């Protein structure tokens, strides 16, 4: 690795974890264009922009008590497996599910999980609007992760139905975090969520980010999420 990810993220990563992160970095760099994974393709930039950011997210969530052993984690709109796979590599005890609507990206995720020899990782191909109505996934998860998925009112409709009551959504947001929170009141009230806290996420490159943590305080009405496309077309504002 070009940077010490363990030290930079404040985590004690063993030799196996560091080797897996290095292998994962190389897999992203090699497949980025083929699978439309990320515009960041330089290995050092992948470490700084993707891996370190994900690991710092994990450290913050652990400090908040949101990552106990055997946590059921869903990475929503996982893309290249971020932030879920770096967290899994650092914490092998997590039960991780990676959800993405793209068949190509899901193929990459399955190949990557196999190449990294990771257990307790499942790849789910589908749209959140449909998966959240599947009894095998609705209300199942303790923690949903979302990075660059959708504005908060839309994201809440996609994510909260997947959480069990008492579970949490951790959404990485940029400079618009405050504005998104200001328009999320109706979605929170309708879907059973409440903002627990916001935390700074110091990005190694680029502007500072914010982690918005939402607790699912009550069951989400059965009609949500609405059919594919409607949460984005007619958000709960």
Please tell me the total number of residues recorded for the chain in this structure: 237
Task: Give 74-86 pLDDT, tens digit per residue.
Answer: 999 999 999 999 9
* Domain ranges, ordered by start, for the chain: 5-233
Q: Where are the alpha helices (DSSP H) in the chain?
A: 5-9, 15-31, 43-46, 52-63, 84-90, 103-115, 128-131, 152-159, 177-182, 185-191, 230-233
Bridge partners (DSSP) listed for residue 72:
95
Average pLDDT along the chain: 93
Give the integer Cα–Cα distance in Å for 72 and 96.
6
> What homologous superfamily is domain 5-233 in, according to CATH?
Vaccinia Virus protein VP39 (3.40.50.150)
Distance CA 47, CA 40 (A): 10
Computed from CA positions of residues 35, 137, 195, 12, in that sequence, does the dihedral angle turn out positive or negative?
A: negative
* Residue 170: closest CA among 65, 80, 79: 65
Residue 96, token pair as written in the block:
């991780």
Indicate if the pLDDT at residue 33 is higher than 90: no
Q: How far apart are CA 111 and CA 101, in angstroms?
A: 16
Q: Is the pLDDT of residue 99 over 90?
A: yes
Span of 25-34, 104-113, 118-127, 140-149 with lowest mean pLDDT: 25-34
Percentage of the chain exceeding pLDDT 90: 82
């Amino acid at each position: 690795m070009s940077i010490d990810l363990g030290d930079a993220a404040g985590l004690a990563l063993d030799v196996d974890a560091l080797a897996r992160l290095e292998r994962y970095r190389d897999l992203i760099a090699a497949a980025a264009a083929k699978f439309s994974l990320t515009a960041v393709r330089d290995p050092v930039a992948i470490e700084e922009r993707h891996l370190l950011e994900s690991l710092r997210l994990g450290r913050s969530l652990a400090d908040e008590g949101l990552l106990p052993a055997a946590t059921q984690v869903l990475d929503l709109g996982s893309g290249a497996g971020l932030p879920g796979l770096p967290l899994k590599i650092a914490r092998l005890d997590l039960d991780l599910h990676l959800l993405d609507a793209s068949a190509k990206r899901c193929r990459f995720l399955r190949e990557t999980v196999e190449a990294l020899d990771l257990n307790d990782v499942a790849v789910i191909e589908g749209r959140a609007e449909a998966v959240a109505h599947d009894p095998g996934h609705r209300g199942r998860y303790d923690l949903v992760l979302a990075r660059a998925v959708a504005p908060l009112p839309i994201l809440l409709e996609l994510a909260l139905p997947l959480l069990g009551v008492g579970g949490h959504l951790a959404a990485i947001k940029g400079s618009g975090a405050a504005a998104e929170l200001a328009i999320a009141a109706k979605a929170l009230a309708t879907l059973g969520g409440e903002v627990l806290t916001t935390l700074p996420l110091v990005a190694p490159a680029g502007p500072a980010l914010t982690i918005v943590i939402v607790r699912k305080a009550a069951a989400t009405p059965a009609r949500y999420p609405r059919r594919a496309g409607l949460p984005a077309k007619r958000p709960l504002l």
